[in-house]
Structure 1
């Protein structure tokens, strides 16, 4: 049986930022969100590099004739290629020095779904009406949470909640990991930049998901963030796993689409 994503995606500037530093891609067997950072449009450049690099490997990781181990290896190691491209771009354009991006990507590889994640953009699975965060925030706040030095309530409105411990920045000393999950028909996934999760709690997100049809979830989430001030760019991909023919379509959003 072949699986594919049936996705609804949307991005928004928010109410404070002048440009959109988020990028995203949606296709039949891959979805990803990248949240850029860095001055002088650097964030837009970095996130676009990440998403465009994923687009380049789509024909290979979609090739069912290739061994799954080869496709997994390519998917995992694209992070090093993105890091190298960011470094090279920064050297060519010193005004972009210090730019970087998060990356949260899901790829369907045969019977499993593979999560590749760096930074604090998030991946959730919605199964049996329960929202579960699958990604791990690479932030100082998460480390303090793990150590028991902060509570979740203290983290939610902490001024340093977005300080990253891992990101793609050109010389990142990466140790990327792929986490595999068995596909269950009807599984739904939410990928988002922290423009959503820094404003809405997991409980609030769950309630909006429950109250809306799939094709309206992204817009409803963004509308709620906007109503609360939307201090950052917001990018959301809402996807259901369905039986499919691996149709070849690609849609890019945000900086990667410019």
Structure 2
């Protein structure tokens, strides 16, 4: 596919145990992203908003026809330094926001490929036909314990360090992001989500709901399933199908609105 875009449906919700929404997201025909903020005194909302609005401001550059692939990858990586620097600046000006941070998982489509940028534990999945795959690898203590064989999957669900991040954008200048590039085809459906979804539903449950032919219905079903299971956190779900016609205008969700 030489020209490819996203057709997108998305939804964000506070959940049943939180008083505010610290998730932010951007949806568009070329760029998707989810950021899950953390920190007291509205710091999580501020951090995730900084991440998403910074990316939103880069859409014209990232989608410019005369930008080559290497330059795009550099721009995406540099965007993290911009976000990290802005978080540091805001936190230095407002003491109550110090310690705030955010995850960021972003997906850019152009020239028949997607570039996936990832920091933290917000996830990206791909459904291609009947093959369902998690493309991101959580930056958490729990994931490191699983990778090393220290604990088993059966021990992971209730582990006390389940949500402890090893990589996060919090203005410290030490983040080590992951950037991956994948070929796309017309059968691809992508899911970006905060851990308010992935920590509540199993991969089998997510796949089953994501396979709904109607994209809007899939989004609603995924969010509603978290509520059935107690919705202990904010939940953000972005579902995108690969198409050959540009239709979706840029939209900000959650704390970034």
TM range (shorter): over 0.9
Cα deviation digits, residues 87-142 of structure 1 (max 9, x gap): 00000001000000000000013121000000000000001222100001000000
Map 1:82-93 to 2 at 5 A. Answer: 82-93=83-94
Paired residue for 2:253?
Answer: 253
CA distance in 1, matches of 2:97, 2:109: 33
CA distance in 2, matches of 1:94, 1:62: 37
CA distance in 2, matches of 1:212, 1:234: 22
Aligned residues: 256
Map 1:1-258 to 2 at 5 A. Answer: 1-211=2-212, 213-245=214-246, 247=247, 249-257=249-257
TM-score for both structures, normalised by structure 1: 0.96
Residues 60 and 162 (structure 1 numbering): CA distance in 2 closer, same or farther, change over 3 Å? same
SS in 2 for 1:107: strand
SS in 1 for 2:196: helix
Residues 223 and 128 (structure 1 numbering): CA distance in 2 closer, same or farther, change over 3 Å? same
Kept in 2: contact 1:166–1:172 (CA 8 A): no
SS in 1 for 2:225: helix
Q: Pairwise CA RMSD of aligned residues? A: 1.2
Q: Could you tell which deviates more after superposition, 124-133 or 96-105?
A: 124-133
Q: CA deviation at 1:28?
A: 0.8
CA distance in 2, matches of 1:177, 1:130: 23
SS in 2 for 1:179: strand
CA distance in 2, matches of 1:210, 1:48: 30
TM-score for both structures, normalised by structure 2: 0.97
Q: CA deviation at 1:211?
A: 4.5
SS in 2 for 1:256: coil
Kept in 2: contact 1:123–1:191 (CA 8 A): yes
SS in 1 for 2:256: helix
